[in-house]
A and B are shown apart, each in its own frame.
Chain A
């Protein structure tokens, strides 16, 4: 257990529905990341927060995706009008800002299946 919690572990939804995932990072970590992982691939960066500020978003993050970290603690990732191509594992990671040598601590992810 890395200390990063994600909820739910699994989500099955119908195309067109909205889904929201939650991530609770390690409490003293000020950086929080969302990654997406599809079958047979490494995790792909989606977005990054330093405290409550969203500082970086990938081009992979379409307008249907939105992420928040309102108080600089937990974060939510919402996908609106889900599509089958959104089916993937959504991973959250946190780290303490330590410069270049930054170690990410990942949660176990939320596996999304869009039917």
Chain B
């Protein structure tokens, strides 16, 4: 059953429209960012990543934008489909030497309206 997402910010989008999910990060030392998708009853699944020396990266139907000035990350999903319904998390990793863990932000629940 549903184990995450009940108290998350929710974005409702009509099927076929584009979705934009936003994320603010706090660690100025982070230089690698990742978006994960988590469906009900499953673990997070990698979608797309971006290094801090880039401001845009495109995948299949997804685009990640990075604005380091305001520490903002966004995930754009083109032509949103019902299968895109899930909770989306941004994550960051700091390059400070040695081992660095991936830190997850608060998720956004995407609901696709058929």
Contacts and interface: CB of A to CB of B under 8 A. Distances in A.
Interface string A62-93: 00000000000000000000000000010101
B70 interface: no
Q: Chain B's interface: helix, strand, loop or mixed, by majority? A: loop
Given A2-B43, A100-B32, A39 B6 contact: yes
Interface size class of B (residues with CB under 8 A): 20 to 34
Contact of B102 (A2, A89, A102, A108): A102
Contacts of A93: 43
A56 B3 contact: no
Interface in A86-111: 89, 91, 93, 100-109, 111
Interface residues of A, number: 29
A106 B45 contact: yes
Nearest to B31: A100
Given A39-B3, A102-B102, A4 B43 contact: yes
Interface of B: 3-8, 31-32, 34, 41-46, 49, 51, 89, 91, 93, 95, 99-107
